[in-house]
Structure 1
Amino acid sequence: MDCGTSTVKYILFIFNTIVSLVGILGIVYGVLILNSIGTIVVDGQTGFPPQAIMPIGLITISSIVVFISFLGCCGAIRESVFMTMTYAVFLLILLLLQLTIIVLLFTNKDKFLDAMGDVIDKAWEQDSRENGIFDAIQKSLHCCGKNGITDYITNLPNVPKSCCEGGNCLNPLNVYGGCRSKFQEFMSGSTDLARHVGLGLIVVELVGFIFACCLANNVRNYKRRNVY
């Protein structure tokens, strides 16, 4: 094995080791966010509130990244053309998927936020105040009603304690804002962060893809020369 190929091999191994660590940190970070968001209990069933979609997505993507980078480490150390090219293909697919998602987030942000608003609308409309879904959402997001406390004043004589900080609704300053705008604001900040992180990952993944292709090609040529 020539010096150049050996250099690429160890660079790819170190690169994927770092990516694996980043992926693990992403999983831990997602779990911490998910834990801070907490769960909601509706009709005796425990589940995650709507805003949990972002940390769950982060955990999923980070897990895929860890798996792919582990494959890259194994392929580099074993000098396996098959494993290295499989790693490169997976990396390319992940790169293209991320690029597609980022482009969609850039070009359809308003539609995405409207869709997130519809999630709150449906939760409000589907008799949610009786089965406890919306009350759980309010506790999780620190918000009140679909558009504000006026939704309750119009429909209910008593405002839920989850509408106010500390459950004290006598002070108007304690009343939270509407859940629709609060959820959209939360998702808007999360998608902006996801876009920037995604662009950074694409650059990193592109570098990994190039190194993987170079290593696989060099190993293949080396084995062919040894045949003769």
Structure 2
Amino acid sequence: MDCGTSMVKYILFIFNTIVSIIGILSIVFGVIILQSVGTIEVNGQTGFPPQAAMPILLITLGSLVVFISFLGCCGAIRESVCMMMSYAVCLLVLLILQLTIVVLLFTNKEKFDTAMGEVIDKAWASPEAREGGVFDAIQKSLHCCGSNGVQDYVSLNFLNSGLPSSCCEGSCANPLNIYGGCRAKFVDFMSGSSEKAKYVGLGLIVVELVGFIFACCLANNVRNYKRRNGY
């Protein structure tokens, strides 16, 4: 095999090794965020709060990146056209999906924020969520009170029995201890996470595009080399 092809082979191997490390770091970072978000308990069942969606997505994406990079490393070292083309196709699909998500995040920020706000609105509007402890768990997780603030409890005459302890930092007798609304906090959290996701996504798209080009070049060179040797 010529020197150029060998160089592409080892560059691709090193490239995928680095990408694998990035994928592993993404998983670790996602787990750390998930741990900081914590879990909520409702009716004896433990689960993740709504704001856990972003770190879970990060962990999933990191796992996919590690798997695809491993496929690329194996394909490069084994000089397998099949593995290299599979790797290239996986990269292309992942690239298109990420590009679609990034474009949607850039062009639909207001819709995204509105949709995130509606998550809290629906939770508050549901009597089952309020009485079943779901909203109380959200308040504990986000350190917030009501959908838009303590006035939501006032409008529902909840104050007769006192505010939930999850509404306050310490004693609810002191108005200064009462948290702000959950809707604004959740929207801010998800909006900030989506802003970071957009630029991380753009970086990954560039990296994946480079990997896709190298994979196609290597697969083509290996195929031509084997074809020439077959004659």
What's the TM-score bracket when you normalise by the shorter of the two chains?
over 0.9
- Helix, strand or coil: the match of 1:19? helix
Task: List per-residue Cα deviations over 1:180-211 (Å, max 9, x = no partner).
Answer: 11100001100000000000000000000000
The letter for the 1-side match of 2:42 is: V
Distance 1:67 1:192 in 2: 26
In the TM superposition, what is the alpha-carbon distance from 1:91 to its structure 2 partner? 0.1
Aligned to 2:116: 116
Task: List per-residue Cα deviations over 1:7-37 (Å, max 9, x = no partner).
Answer: 0000000000010111011111111111111
- Helix, strand or coil: the match of 2:163? coil
RMSD of aligned alpha carbons: 0.8
1:112-191 to structure 2, matched below 5 A, reads 112-127=112-127, 128-155=129-156, 156-157=158-159, 158-165=162-169, 167-191=170-194
In the TM superposition, what is the alpha-carbon distance from 1:169 to its structure 2 partner? 1.9
- Helix, strand or coil: the match of 1:177? coil
The letter for the 2-side match of 1:145 is: G
Task: List per-residue Cα deviations over 1:27-77 (Å, max 9, x = no partner).
Answer: 111111111111111111111100000000001111111100000000000
Counterpart among 206, 223, 228 of residue 220 in structure 1: 223
TM-score normalised by structure 1 residue count: 0.98
Alpha carbons 1:153, 1:159 under 8 Å: kept: no
The letter for the 1-side match of 2:228 is: R
Aligned to 1:88: 88
Aligned to 2:39: 39
- Helix, strand or coil: the match of 2:179? coil
Distance 2:18 2:10 in 1: 12
Identity %: 76
Distance 1:224 1:14 in 2: 26
Gap runs ≥5 in structure 1:
none
- Helix, strand or coil: the match of 2:46? strand
Alpha carbons 1:124, 1:146 under 8 Å: kept: yes
Task: List per-residue Cα deviations over 1:137-188 (Å, max 9, x = no partner).
Answer: 00101111000011112220211111111x3223322221100111000011
Structure 1 runs of 4+ with >4 Å offset: none
TM-score normalised by structure 2 residue count: 0.96
Aligned to 2:195: 192
Aligned to 1:208: 211
Gap runs ≥5 in structure 2:
none
The letter for the 2-side match of 1:160 is: P
